[in-house]
Structures are given as structure tokens and as C-alpha cells.
Amino acid sequence: MEQKETQKPASIKVTGSQSVIKSLIEEGVEIMFGYPGGQIMPIYDALYDFTDKINHVLVRHEQGAAHAAQGYARATGKVGVAMATSGPGATNLITGIADAMLDSTPLVCITGQVGAMLLGTDAFQETDVIGISMPVTKWNVQVTKAEDIAPAIAKAFYIARTGRPGPVLVDITKNAQFAECDFQYKKCEGIRSYIPVPKVDVNKIDQAAKIINEAKKPYILFGQGVILGSAEKEFRAFVEKSGIPAAWTLLGNSSLPTSHPLNVGMLGMHGNYGPNIKCNECDVLIAIGMRFDDRVTGDVKRFAKQAKVIHIEIDPAEIDKNVKTEVAVLGDVKESLPLLTERIKTNNHEAWIGEFKKCMDIEYNQVIKKDIHPEKEGMTMGEVIRRITDKTKGDAILVTDVGQHQMIATRYFKFNKTRSCITSGGLGTMGFGLPASIGAKMGAPDREVILVVGDGGLQMTIQEMGTIFQTGAAVKIVLLNNNFLGMVRQWQQMFFEKRYSSVELINPDFITIAKGYSIEGQKVTSRTNIDNAIDTMLNHNGPYLLEVVVEKEGNVFPMVPAGCSVSEIRLE
């Protein structure tokens, strides 16, 4: 019997620049963020003919492009795309790329480069972006021939989105953009020696199930891996059958609804009291899709030494890196968790959960009550966040910048839906919030997007108000203004004898600046006006800036001081 030959897709003649745009369309890209310049101008010229297929968002700074692409990726689960020219354009992307690397965010960044004949000559706007970006990308490549562009982009998307996601950079020389080639796009479906998802070892599942079934005080710590693996339903089924209390990392927030009875709160440096101290009291610690970073463990030498640790993780490099495991379950959490759920007993750890509730009562009386129902005259960040979350009923996407407001917002905001908490975790990038909120809103236009930002972080990327002006992205910006770099000031107060060095800010009139970009807004200084102001913001059809003046020297507690054990968490 004759075997029919597989017909290859017909190829067409295009320029390298057209190959870039056509490749992005083949990968389903609908929105990208960027800023043009000399060495990427041919690609922007090709984009001119495809504006009906791809919405290019012109940011005001290349860092904004990377952060906006992050916000888009985090809100949608798709790969974010950012584009910039060579030299300073490419280097301005690096902060966002590094942020995406630490937070496992899938990005494809495309940079223009000087012509291949000029590489290494210190040509105008030439930088070695491959060398610079290598430590902060999952993969990078420089393309010098037009025919290599489509395969490189296909490989980039495959690497960015598979396994543990991350940022990828494709640097394309100008001669490759101008040259012609035959275009025939083939999506990448595998790379030799790259195994993005380890095979699940059923023996490890059995071992983990046995330990869990014998546990008296088991405890779940879950991270962003649950969201990245689209395993929210599988995770919830595991939690509910096991009856085990579960605490989230900063990036794991919203994987499980805030109101779920087994959701006991946030762990980490500024996490909740119970979730932190119980790490050193549980007998079994089940870590799911998290990496035991120092902001979670505190002094790792004194972290959970009494517990048998089960680590469910997709990245083999994270196993035993910081915390020694009893059983490591490698693989896709969406596959491994149901196998584990099948093998565990239906349980109810009522007495153990009661201990978490007692801790929450202590925290409420010593910290939370003062934060959300303050008796002092000045407004607190906590009361503002709680009022906003009550009015949005837990359905909004929260985007934060970095600092005191970030810790307060992520702890007091309520979440009903997954992919609702977008913040900079591993890198802690001030300036992340405003551009990330634009990307999130463009990725989820039907959802309310609330940006909570401080006066320091807002001014790091304040120029992206221009992007809001041009796109109309209806982001609701809540500026919590204390005229300080608040988190640094708190550390100086607690650990540097109140020697407030270079942390007090003399701020501009933010409302006037916003109005210059046609963004409506108001400034609130009194508690009596806050509810009406929040209603006005939420009811406004379009972007809005609500500036709230909060107490100048408010601190964020609980807190595990740097280098301390989680058992040494401070409530004041």
C-alpha cells in the first residue's frame, strides 16, 4: 500500500521584518507592548500593515513595556510580548525581564540590533543584550539571518510557556530584518534535551499519601505554581478532601478563595501570625508550587526542622535547594495532585485548624483591628483597602506596586477568582504597578482592575499615565500617600534607630499631573470622605486616580525581621 506524502505548507516570500509579525500572528498574539527606535524600525514598518491583527500598545518607556506584558500574562495566562530597539531600548527591558524570571512569568521580548557586520564594533546604540540578559532569561538567541527568524520565535514561545514559565529574548540584527526569506511557520512542539515537565513518579505519590494519612498536624503551603499549572480546581479538591489548613505565598494569592474555610492566610515576612509560627509546629509540611524563598522561610536553618516536608514541584532545580525534603513529587501539579487526592483519606483536622483560629484572634486584636478600624485621626492603609475590597465584593483584579501598601493590600484584599493578585514578588520592583495594571486591564477588559500604589513607586513609572491617556485603559489607581518611602522608613525606624536617611518625599500635585493626562481624580484627606470617594472612583467610566493621604509613619505588622526564625514573628 502506497504511503501518501505529507504536504508541506506552502511558503511565501517575505522580509525578515514581515516574518516577525507573521510569526507573532501564528502564535495567536493579539496585544503587544513596545517602543520603536532605529534598529527595530523595519519591524515597526511591517507592523503598519497588520494593525487589524495585532494591537500594539505604545508605552512611554521600555521598562513599562516589559511590566505591561507581565501584567497581561499574569491576568490571562498567555505569553506577554514586549518589543524594543537596541542599546538603551533593550537595556531598559532588563528590569522587567529579571522580574519575570524570578516570578516565572512567560514573556517573549523582541529587540532590534545593529547589522551583523557591525556587531562587536561599538556601533551606535549597540549593546551585548544577549550577554546582559543571559542571567535573567530562560533562553535567549541572536538572529542574524532572515530565514532563522520564524524558527527562533517558534522556539521562544514554546520555551516561554512550557514547564516552569519564564521570559525569553530574541535579538534580531537589522540586516536580518531587511533581508528576504521563504516564510513557512511551524510551531515548536519539542526541543531535544529540553524536558519541560518531568514524568510523575507514582511511587513518590504513594509515599507522600502515606505520610499525609499518618499526619496529626499537616500543613499546606501553596504558591503560584497552582495558578501557572491551571490547577485551581485540582488543588481545591485536594485541600477539601484532606481537611488540611492551607496558607499562600504572595504570588499564590487568589489560587483559593479568601473566604474558603481552609484558607488560613499568608505566610512570609509580612504574612499572618498563625501561618508563620505553625511552620515550626506542624508534623508534615506540604509545599505545592512554591520555592521556599527567604521571605517565606526566614532563617532557613530554623525553618520546619520538626516536619516531614513533601514538595510538589515542576522544576527539579527547586528540590532541596533551600529546604530538605522527605518526598519530592516532580511533575505538572495538574497531573500529580489528582493522583495524590485519590490516595489520601478524607479527613478533618478540626483541633489543629482551631489553633490557627486562635492565632488569628490574637492577630486581629493586636494588629488587624487597629489597621481596619483605627481609633486614631489619620487614615490607615488597611482601612482604605478593606473598604475598597468590600465595595468590589472580591471580584476585582488587584495590582500592586512594591512596599508597605503591597503587604497591606495583599493581606486585606478579598479574592473570589483566580489570577486576581498581580504583584512583583521575587525582585520587588518599585514601578511595576502602573504599567502592569495597564497590561492586566487590556488582558481582562471586562474585569475591574484596581492598582494600589505608593507615592514612591508611582513616580518611578508615572510617565505610563501617557499610555493610559492614549489607550483609555480604565485602570482605577489608588495612591496611598504617606510622603515617605514607607517600607525603607519602617526598617530604619526598627533597625537603624530612626535615622531616616533619604526616605522623606516632597511630592508633586498628583491630581494635577493626572488631569494633564485627562485622568480624572480626587485627593482625600479625611475619613469622612473616603466612602463617597471610592464610590465615585468605581462608578467612573474610565481611568481614575484616587489619592488618599494616610498616616505618615504607619508600620506594617506582623513582621518576621530579616535573619529571624518564623517563630520570632513580631506583632508590634
Domain at 377-549: CATH code = 3.40.50.970
Buried b (16+ CB within 10 A) or exposed e, 178-209: ebebebebeebeeeeeeebebebeeebbebbb
| CA 188 and chain centroid, separation | 26
Torsion sign (Cα): 529, 532, 538, 539: negative
492-543 pLDDT, tens digit each: 999 999 999 999 999 999 999 999 999 999 999 999 999 999 999 999 999 9
223-269 pLDDT, tens digit each: 999 999 999 999 999 999 999 999 999 999 999 999 999 999 999 99
The yes-or-no answer to whether 12-183 and 202-355 have a common fold is yes
**Distance between CA 36 and CA 510 in Å, rounded?**
28
410-452 pLDDT, tens digit each: 999 999 999 999 999 999 999 999 999 999 999 999 999 999 9
Buried b (16+ CB within 10 A) or exposed e, 31-67: bbbbbbbebbebbbebbeeeeeeeebbebbbbbbbbb
Residue 6 has pLDDT above 70, yes or no: no
Integer CA distances (angstroms), 270 to 274, 302, 403, in order:
12, 18, 11
Written in H, E and C, the secondary structure of 307-336 is CEEEEEECCHHHCCCCCCCCEEEECCHHHH
What pLDDT is attached to residue 8?
Answer: 57
Helix axes 333-343, 202-214, angle to 10 degrees: 50
Domain at 202-355: CATH code = 3.40.50.1220
154-174 pLDDT, tens digit each: 999 999 999 999 999 999 999
Between β-strands 12-15 and 180-183, what pairing exists: parallel, antiparallel or unpaired? antiparallel
N-terminal to C-terminal alpha carbon distance within the chain: 81
For residue 422, give the nearest of 65, 43, 68 by alpha carbon: 68
Q: Is the bond preceding residue 508 a cis peptide, omega within 30 degrees? A: no
Question: Mean of the per-residue pLDDT values for the chain?
Answer: 96
What is the DSSP code (8-state) at residue 556? -
**Distance between CA 67 and CA 264 in Å, rounded?**
30
Helix axes 530-539, 381-392, angle to 10 degrees: 40
Integer CA distances (angstroms), 537 to 383, 467, 510, 544, in order:
17, 19, 16, 6
323-364 pLDDT, tens digit each: 999 999 999 999 999 999 999 999 999 999 999 999 999 999
What pLDDT is attached to residue 1?
Answer: 37
The answer to whether the CB of 410 falls within 8 A of the CB of 422 is no
**Distance between CA 175 and CA 119 in Å, rounded?**
11
**Distance between CA 395 and CA 393 in Å, rounded?**
6
Residue 3 has pLDDT above 80, yes or no: no
Integer CA distances (angstroms), 513 to 211, 453, 469, 504, 509, in order:
58, 16, 12, 20, 6
Average pLDDT on 454-468 reads 98
Domain at 12-183: CATH code = 3.40.50.970
- Residues designated catalytic: 62, 124-125, 174, 487
Residue 96 has pLDDT above 70, yes or no: yes
**Distance between CA 555 and CA 380 in Å, rounded?**
10
Residue 7 has pLDDT above 80, yes or no: no
pLDDT class of 4 with cuts at 50, 70, 90: very low
Sheet holding 476-481, edge to edge: 421-422, 397-400, 449-454, 476-481, 544-549, 520-524
**Share above pLDDT 90 across residues of the chain, in percent, rounded to a whole number:** 97
Instruction: Write out the H or E segment, with its range, that includes residue 476.
Output: strand 476-481
What pLDDT is attached to residue 376?
Answer: 85
- Render 115-134 in DSSP notation, one character per residue: -GGGTTTT-TT---HHHHHG
- Render 229-293 in DSSP notation, one character per residue: TT-HHHHHHHHHHHT--EEE-TTTTTSS-TT-TTEEEE-STTS-HHHHHGGGT-SEEEEES----
**Distance between CA 446 and CA 459 in Å, rounded?**
28
The three-state secondary structure class of 3 is coil
The answer to whether the CB of 227 falls within 8 A of the CB of 245 is no
**Distance between CA 13 and CA 20 in Å, rounded?**
13
The answer to whether the CB of 272 falls within 8 A of the CB of 279 is no
The ranges assigned to domains in the chain are 12-183, 202-355, 377-549
Task: Give 561's contacts (C-beta < 8 A, 6+ positions apart).
Answer: 494, 495, 568, 570
The answer to whether the CB of 464 falls within 8 A of the CB of 438 is yes
Task: Give 24's contacts (C-beta < 8 A, 6+ positions apart).
Answer: 32, 54, 81, 153
